[in-house]
A and B are shown apart, each in its own frame.
Chain A
Amino acid sequence: MMETLNEYLPFLIKSSYFLAAILFITGLRRMSAPGTARGGIVWAGVGMLVATVATFLLPDMHNMVLILAALVSSTVLAWVSGKKVAMTDMPQMVALYNGMGGGSAAFIGAMALFNAVDHIDACSMAGGSSHDCLSGVPMVFAIVGVYIGAISLSGSLVAFGKLQGWIDKRFTFPGQHYFNGLIGIGTLALGLYLTQDLNAQYIWIFFGLSLLLGLLMTLPIGGADMPVVISLYNAFTGLAVSFEGFVLQNEAMIIAGMLVGAAGTMLTQHMAKAMNRSLGSVLFGSMGGSGGAAIEGEMKEIQAQDAAIQMAYADRVVIIPGYGMAVAQAQHKLWELTEMLMERGVDVKFAIHPVAGRMPGHMNVLLAEAGVPYDLIEDMEDINGQFSQTDVALVIGANDVVNPVAKTDPESPIYGMPILNVDEAKNSIVIKRGKGTGFAGIQNALFFAENNKMLYGDAQDAIAKLIQGLKAL
């Protein structure tokens, strides 16, 4: 009995990896349509479970205690942190988990390389030259995997730090792109050299330089571009996993990794397009700072009570949420306010810019969490023609996506970016913490417009005051 089982074990394991690959593909497909998206992650999850269990059955596996210890401790930590984190902090968690995957691929690659060094040493002892003893192609994949995986690890960690607010400065110096380019090419050249003469010392240096490169590449990028960057590193990790899959001769890794590498690249392009940025300008351009003409005029303040009255007697109100709403966790209060306005017969709609918040779809997720029905939420294309018939446009913690400068000032760094036409509304009220410029550091002409009023304060407090104002009527 045991013997027949052992005979069929390799077949069983291979079939499990095959099944996992199919489940990943189906899962990703289902996740790309709103109706089936929820089921999609479950399909992929089953695939992961099948592949992991099958791996335990592989023959000649040792260090089982170490494997279980790492697996269980990390799974518990990640599971708990993923469950506990607030909806608003999801983007940085994706960055963190993605960096871990890239790091894992890089360490696997480094292990394969160190292993090859030992192999070469043994082989040279037997009289072969270093070149003869190298197994060739798989080592190239291991090296490229280390390179991309390490960039993804350190880059994603910087992205995590920036979104978490731990790194709030953009780190720039003159000639930075040339310097980074030099390090990038130099590291790649060292990698190429490794294919000819593999030794442990150079592997360490190569690994270190790759990590440094990810760090240097990501530090100068502004927070507003982080979603695109995270998506790019997601694709990087996929590629690294695919390459290390080739080194380990594991089909599930090759297919799943390449699938994500391609899908992630496509997704990155979609995102960059939605922000009217090219990938090149995200990675190498500098956004913010100067650029664009100064704006004349002053911002006019409004009190919450007056703002509440203005909205209560409006026929039509459009609410434009932005990242400010997300940080203040104001979505629940906002829905309460919306329900009160609707009870008074006001026609209320939500307008979502494709890149409002820190990630495309970020606002939709938060509003859905608060219980806002889908039919109240409009995309930019659908609502933009309706602003001229809107009595009050309420902007909550959004800035660049409503800045009319994008339409009027060719000098501005955001010129050409599609925006929500809040400036066409009869009145607009902007809830904002202070007078500073937004994430991109660009002056917003809307704030200085004749029919615009500023309601200063944290989004949560400001909306609470608006609700009080409505109750007092």
Chain B
Amino acid sequence: MIDGFIALYIFALAAILGFEIIRKVPVVLHTPLMSGSNFIHGIVLVGAMIALGHADTTLEKVFGFIAVFLGAGNAAGGYVVTERMLEMFKPRVKKEDKDGEGS
């Protein structure tokens, strides 16, 4: 059991960290960052698994199943979409199909 005040410390420190990291980011990264942070809260999947793993009644099992399904979608979808967006930030390599070295 996490003590109430310890939890409060964790809440506060994580919040300050989050604010600090995003304080100054270029506009180009706004969308990828939204998508990336969207992936990170996909950790809810772990909570959903724990909840379903301890479910006994039918109602709990149904809710747990939905929770795992939704959480896994958040995590998997969030990862793929973010990765595809960030793929665009790859340093430009020479174009093979074009003659010359470009820029």
Q: Which A residues are within 8 Å of any B CB, using their own CB? A: 17, 20, 24-25, 27-29, 31-34, 37-38, 40-42, 44-45, 48, 51-52, 55-56, 58, 60-64, 66-67, 69-71, 73-79, 81-83, 85, 87, 90-91, 93-94, 96-98, 100-101, 103-105, 107-108, 110-112, 114-115, 118, 137, 227, 230-231, 234, 237-238, 240-242, 244-246, 248-267, 270-271, 274, 354, 359-362, 364-365, 368-369, 371, 373-375, 379
Contact = CB atoms under 8 A, between A and B. Distances in A.
A368 B4 contact: no
Nearest to A82: B80
A73 B50 CA distance: 18
Interface of B: 1-2, 4, 7, 10-11, 14-19, 21-23, 25-55, 57, 59-61, 63-90, 92, 95, 102-103
Contacts of A33: 25, 29
A257 B69 CA distance: 18
Given A230-B34, A271-B30, 8 more contacts: A28-B18, A70-B72, A78-B77, A85-B81, A97-B42, A101-B41, A101-B42, A110-B63
Contact of B41 (A40, A73, A257): A257
Instruction: Give the residue among A25, A75, A78 with the most B Cβ atoms within 10 A.
Output: A78
A49 to B, nearest CB: 10
Contacts of B103: 373, 375
B74 A249 contact: no
A227 B27 CA distance: 13
B70 A90 contact: no
A234 B31 contact: no
Given A237-B41, A257-B44, A111 B51 contact: yes
Given A70-B69, A361-B29, A364-B28, A241 B21 contact: no
A435 B84 CA distance: 35
10 contacts: A32-B22, A33-B25, A66-B68, A71-B68, A82-B76, A85-B81, A97-B78, A101-B42, A263-B18, A264-B18
Given A100-B77, A249-B1, A94 B88 contact: no
A354 B103 CA distance: 26
A98 B92 contact: no
Contact of B43 (A31, A256, A262, A371): A256
Interface of A is mostly: helix
A252 B43 contact: yes
The 6 A-B pairs at the shortest CB distance, nearest first, are namely: A262-B18, A82-B80, A101-B74, A78-B77, A61-B53, A360-B30
A174 B68 CA distance: 40
Contacts of A257: 41, 43-44
Contacts of A365: 31-32, 85, 88
Given A71-B49, A111-B67, A114-B59, A261 B18 contact: yes
B48 A108 contact: yes
Contacts of A27: 36, 40
Contacts of B88: 364-365, 368-369
Contact of A97 (B15, B33, B73): B73
A116 to B, nearest CB: 12
Contact of A29 (B21, B28, B86, B90): B21
A100 B91 CA distance: 33
A29 B36 CA distance: 11
Instruction: Give the residue among B16, B18, B81, B103 with the most A Cβ atoms within 10 A.
Output: B18
A63 B65 CA distance: 10
Contact of A107 (B25, B26, B33, B48): B48
B41 A256 contact: yes
B22 to A, nearest CB: 4
Contacts of A103: 66-67, 70
B44 A253 contact: yes
Contacts of A265: 18-19
Given A101-B38, A108-B47, A114-B59, A354 B27 contact: yes
A262 B19 contact: yes
Contacts of B23: 266
A257 B37 CA distance: 9
Contact of A359 (B16, B18, B30, B42): B30
A162 B24 CA distance: 30
B20 to A, nearest CB: 9
B33 A267 contact: yes
B43 A253 contact: yes
A101 B39 CA distance: 9
A250 to B, nearest CB: 6
B70 A104 contact: yes
Contacts of A137: 4
Contacts of A58: 50, 53
Instruction: Give the residue among A73, A253, A262, A371 with the most B Cβ atoms within 10 A.
Output: A262
Contacts of B84: 82-83, 87, 90
A78 B44 contact: no
B60 A28 contact: no
A120 to B, nearest CB: 15
Contacts of B77: 78-79, 81-82, 93, 96-97, 100
